[in-house]
Chains A and B, each alone.
Chain A
């Protein structure tokens, strides 16, 4: 009896979690001139609109570029930091770890304001540089956590073997440690990419007409008039998230067959 009740309650909660996705995707295929659920007729008109409209495609391309730069920068910086934090035995290690992970708890709007002041002075507002630099700060903690947890389960004897065979520290790192960590590093890069690709607040404050990312374009759209094309954009974003999440999960399984993915992201 109580088991049935538990399943019913949990089922309702899960349905609530999935509801927005279940509504938006069919709506995007509507043949009507406005948003409609369930759609009475099917068409790809909003997808056609999305892919031919420069107002949507250019922000999409910019977001991909910014996300790729963010993923590259934060993966390199975060992986090196994770190695230092897990392996290092130095004073202030805990404080440094706190510092590098703290963007996970600092409200993005607070960080965005700080960046706004700085980049306004440097005349970098409304440039891609402002976006990928600030996005990297938000994405790096994820990399540190993912790569760090892979490092903690890492068999150090492999590295020691390399060292005892005459490899220097850097050589052992490059030829032994990094290749073994590759699945974790790639999965961290995927999450960093997604974090940047979906980042709204920093783009709203630091972007502009010249550096218009897809989330900023959506934000402006939702705040003023709602163009149903946004349902197609939203569906593409949902699909992208599922693909990246699947890739990251497969990579994590390759890295650690027993671990359950519950990696936290910034929720703002």
Chain B
């Protein structure tokens, strides 16, 4: 226990506390960095971008992930292992590799543009990266496994007796799904959405590589402050706000959904 506490205090808690020091007390105790944040519309736009992006990524991954997780519960163990591998291999493949692959796929001379032109759907290549479409596709790809895994872990524990009971009482399959399976899978939906939303809100790599100047997110703004503008105070203030938002949301989600099992299952 002790080694972990020592390591985490020195290399985790202490560095995070530096954010407080830099944002509130440098150069002198004041709220100047926070006032600067609220005064500049560009920063508020970045907040709005981040929230919009996170919500749309969460909804998209849910819509795409639910059928996969549901299908897994209906498969033989062997087929299920294959599907699970299709989810886990991309999940454990470097995010940078996956994002780079999307840059290749969606670029001006990429595969997708080639196909669109060849099919005659467009006459010249369309812009698919460095804009909202690119970020959306890349983020959904990176975070989809994070939705599928908790969904599946809840669905697989749904007692088939409930479904049999509904069927034997005469409910047609769509009714069984809508009134029995779907409500029982709600904890998985909650856990998956919470995980995906919390991950997207602080996401850096994919928006930075696939987004354009109009898709600047809080994470990209932090990078800009620290590495390019050398405004450490403002960077620290942004980072601290992001940390507070994520922590508060996590605690709320945990209260509402009991995310405990998600720690382990996801």
A binding-site residues for B, Cβ under 8 Å: 2-3, 6-7, 9-10, 13-14, 16-21, 23-24, 27, 35, 37, 73, 76-78, 80-81, 83-85, 88, 96, 99-101, 103-111, 113-118, 133-134, 136-137, 140, 144-145, 148-149, 194, 197-198, 200-201, 205, 215, 218-219, 222-223, 226, 230-231, 234, 237-238, 241-242, 244-245, 260-262, 264-265, 267-268
Some 8 contacts from A to B, beta carbons below 8 A apart, are A83-B1, A100-B4, A107-B242, A110-B243, A137-B12, A145-B263, A198-B94, A234-B101
A113 to B14, CA, bound (A): 12
**Which residues of A lie under 8 Å from residue B165 when comparing CB positions?**
none
A113 to B68, CA, bound (A): 37
Interface residues of B in 72-111 (CB under 8 A from A): 74, 83-84, 86-105, 111
Instruction: Considering the complex, give the chain B residue whose CB is closest to the CB of A94.
Output: B260
Instruction: Considering the complex, give the chain A residue whose CB is closest to the CB of B223.
Output: A109
Q: How far is the CB of B225 from chain A (nearest CB, A)?
A: 9
A148 to B260, CA, bound (A): 13
Could you give, for residues 186-215 of chain B, a 1 whenever the CB lies within 8 Å of some chain A CB and a 0 otherwise?
A: 000000000100110111110001000000
Could you give, for residues 51-81 of chain B, a 1 whenever the CB lies within 8 Å of some chain A CB and a 0 otherwise?
A: 0000000000000110110110010000000
Contact A16 B141 (CB under 8 A): yes
A10 to B67, CA, bound (A): 6
**Which residues of A lie under 8 Å from residue B170 when comparing CB positions?**
none
Contact B16 A110 (CB under 8 A): yes
Residue among A88, A107, A140 with the most chain B CB within 10 A? A107
Tally of chain B residues near chain A (CB < 8 A) = 88
Contact B89 A245 (CB under 8 A): yes
Contact of A117 among B102, B149, B204, B232 (CB under 8 A): B232
**Which residues of B lie under 8 Å from residue A198 when comparing CB positions?**
94-96
Contact of B91 among A133, A197, A265 (CB under 8 A): A265
**Which residues of A lie under 8 Å from residue B239 when comparing CB positions?**
109-110, 113-114
Contact B152 A262 (CB under 8 A): yes
Given A6-B71, A99-B8, A222-B96: A13 touches B65 (CB 8 Å cut-off): yes
Q: How far is the CB of B59 from chain A (nearest CB, A)?
A: 15
Contact B226 A23 (CB under 8 A): no
Contact A114 B68 (CB under 8 A): no
Contact B100 A230 (CB under 8 A): yes
A204 to B47, CA, bound (A): 23
| B160 contacts chain A at the CB level, 8 A cutoff | no
**Which residues of B lie under 8 Å from residue A148 when comparing CB positions?**
264
| B3 contacts chain A at the CB level, 8 A cutoff | yes
A77 to B8, CA, bound (A): 10
| B41 contacts chain A at the CB level, 8 A cutoff | no
A57 to B265, CA, bound (A): 36
Contact A222 B173 (CB under 8 A): no
| B49 contacts chain A at the CB level, 8 A cutoff | no
Given A6-B71, A37-B111, A268-B204: A218 touches B96 (CB 8 Å cut-off): yes
Contact A107 B1 (CB under 8 A): no
Contact B88 A24 (CB under 8 A): no
Mostly, the B contact residues are: helix
Contact A268 B12 (CB under 8 A): no
| B128 contacts chain A at the CB level, 8 A cutoff | no
Q: How far is the CB of A184 from chain B (nearest CB, A)?
A: 13
**Which residues of A lie under 8 Å from residue B203 when comparing CB positions?**
107, 268
A17 to B1, CA, bound (A): 39
Contact A118 B4 (CB under 8 A): no
Contact B67 A6 (CB under 8 A): yes
Contact A223 B145 (CB under 8 A): no
Top 10 A-B residue pairs of the complex, sorted by shortest distance between their CB atoms: A107-B202, A20-B101, A114-B15, A84-B1, A81-B4, A198-B94, A264-B266, A117-B18, A10-B71, A234-B97
| B134 contacts chain A at the CB level, 8 A cutoff | no
Contact of A222 among B13, B103, B143 (CB under 8 A): B103
Given A117-B236, A234-B101, A268-B204: A21 touches B93 (CB 8 Å cut-off): yes
Contact B88 A261 (CB under 8 A): yes
Contact B97 A116 (CB under 8 A): no
Given A108-B202, A110-B239, A219-B96: A17 touches B12 (CB 8 Å cut-off): no
Contact A140 B7 (CB under 8 A): yes
Contact of B264 among A10, A145, A241, A244 (CB under 8 A): A145
Instruction: Considering the complex, give the chain B residue whose CB is closest to the CB of A101.
Output: B263
Contact of B243 among A76, A106, A149, A267 (CB under 8 A): A106
A144 to B5, CA, bound (A): 13
Contact B226 A113 (CB under 8 A): yes
A21 to B97, CA, bound (A): 9
Interface residues of B in 242-266 (CB under 8 A from A): 242-243, 246-247, 250, 263-266
